[in-house]
Structure 1
C-alpha cells in the first residue's frame, strides 16, 4: 500500500493513523483513539507531530448543535506522495508512443497484456482458497502489493466487497478508460463470478473510493 520501505522508516502508530485517515477522510482525536485503541493524549501527540512534519492538517468542523467547532485531522497533500504511483508520466508516454508506432489499438493491447500477466501470476495463489470470500480476500491482498489501498467488507445482507481508496493506475485509467473494463474482467476471471464496480463520490461521509462488489455473495444487481 505504501511506497517500499516506508513502514520500516516510521513508527507503526503513525502508519495506522495515516491509514485510518486515508479511509475515513478525516477524524477527531477522540474517534481516532477509539478506533486504534490508544489514549486520547497519546493520539493527540501523534497527530500534532504529523502536522508539524506536514503529513496531516487540522480543520474545524462546525457542530450542528451549540458548542465550539470540533478539531479534525486529515491527510495533507504531502501524505499523498506516500502512496505509490505507477510511474504515471512514463506509463502514459509509453502508451502514447505505442499508439504512434503501432496504431490506435496498441495502448489497449498493451494494457490487456499487462492484466493478462497479472491474472496468470495470481491465479495459482487464488486457487488455494477454500471459499469465494477467502479467494476475494486474497485478491485484495495481492492488489495491495501492487500499490492499491483498500479494505475488505462482508456482511450477510450486502455480501462481500473490496473498498479501494487508492490505485496506482488512476492517471492511466483517466487517459484510457477502457483499461478499467480490462481490470474488471481480470478480477471476474480470477474469482469466477461477476464483480460490480461502483464509483463512490467523496463528501462529508468520507473520501471518494471504488467499491468492487462480488455479486454472488448477496449484493444487489445494478438498477
Structure 2
C-alpha cells in the first residue's frame, strides 16, 4: 500500500489506520484501538486528523442493544490516491496505441510478456522457499512491491489464500480481461500449484476483494 516513499513521509499511525480501514471497509475507534494498540483518544485524534484532511469520513450504525449509534470511520474517494495505479491512463493509452500500430492482439501480447517477465524475475526468489506456504507468502510480498495490497490468510475450512484489496492493473484488467488469466497462469507456475481466483463483492461484511486460493493447501476445488 502507498506509493513508494510515501510511507516514510507520513505518520506511521496514519499508515496503520489507513491499512486497517482498507482491509475492513470501516471500523469504530474501539476496534481500531484493539487492533493497533495505543489509547482510545490517541486513535480518535489520528482519525480526526485524517478526516479533516479529507481521507476519512464517518457514518453511524445503530447498536444492537441500548445506546447511541456507533460512529464508524472509513476511507474516502480521496484516499484512493494513496494506492498505486500503474500509471493508470498512460498505461491504457500506450496499450491502445499499440493496438492501432500493430493490430488488435498487440495489447494482450504485451501484457502476456509483462507477466512472463515477472515470472522470470521472481522465480529465483520464490524457488528458495522451503514450503508452498512460504512460496505463497513470498509471492504476496513481491506483489505488494508492485503496488498490490493484500494479506495472506489461512483457516481450516477455506485453506490458504491471498486476499487482495487493491491491484494497480485493475483499469487494464477491465479493458483486457484475458490479462487476468495471464497473471493467474504466472502465479500457478511460480507456486507449482493450481490457484483459484474468486472475486468477492463488497458489502456490509467489508470491501470488495479478490481471493487467490492455493488449491493444494486445503481449499475447495469447485
TM-score (norm 2): 0.98
**How far 1:76 sits from its partner (Å)?**
1.3
Aligned partner of 1:20 in structure 2 is 20
Instruction: Give runs of aligned pairs for residues 28-107 of structure 1, distance below 5 A.
Output: 28-107=28-107
How many equivalent pairs are there?
222
**How far 1:166 sits from its partner (Å)?**
0.3
Aligned partner of 2:216 in structure 1 is 216
Query: Which secondary structure does the structure 2 equivalent of 1:81 belong to?
Result: helix
**How far 1:2 sits from its partner (Å)?**
0.9
Aligned partner of 2:115 in structure 1 is 115
1:43-66 CA-partner distances (Å, limit 9, x unpaired): 111111111111111111122444
1:114-154 CA-partner distances (Å, limit 9, x unpaired): 00000000000000000000000000000000000000001
Query: Which secondary structure does the structure 2 equivalent of 1:151 belong to?
Result: strand
Aligned partner of 1:130 in structure 2 is 130
Query: Which secondary structure does the structure 1 equivalent of 2:150 belong to?
Result: strand
RMSD: 0.9
**For 2:62 and 2:96, how far apart are their aligned partners in 1?**
47
Aligned partner of 2:181 in structure 1 is 181
**For 2:177 and 2:63, how far apart are their aligned partners in 1?**
40
**For 2:104 and 2:209, how far apart are their aligned partners in 1?**
30
Aligned partner of 1:156 in structure 2 is 156
| Mean CA deviation greater in 118-127 or 4-13 | 4-13
**For 2:124 and 2:12, how far apart are their aligned partners in 1?**
32
Query: Which secondary structure does the structure 1 equivalent of 2:82 belong to?
Result: coil
**How far 1:158 sits from its partner (Å)?**
2.0
Query: Which secondary structure does the structure 1 equivalent of 2:35 belong to?
Result: helix
Aligned partner of 2:147 in structure 1 is 147
**How far 1:91 sits from its partner (Å)?**
0.9
Query: Which secondary structure does the structure 2 equivalent of 1:129 belong to?
Result: coil
**For 1:6 and 1:61, how far apart are their aligned partners in 2?**
33
TM-score (norm 1): 0.97
**How far 1:68 sits from its partner (Å)?**
1.5
**For 1:92 and 1:141, how far apart are their aligned partners in 2?**
25
Query: Which secondary structure does the structure 1 equivalent of 2:165 belong to?
Result: strand
Query: Which secondary structure does the structure 2 equivalent of 1:80 belong to?
Result: helix
Query: Which secondary structure does the structure 1 equivalent of 2:58 belong to?
Result: strand
Unmatched 5+ residue regions in structure 1? none
Unmatched 5+ residue regions in structure 2? none
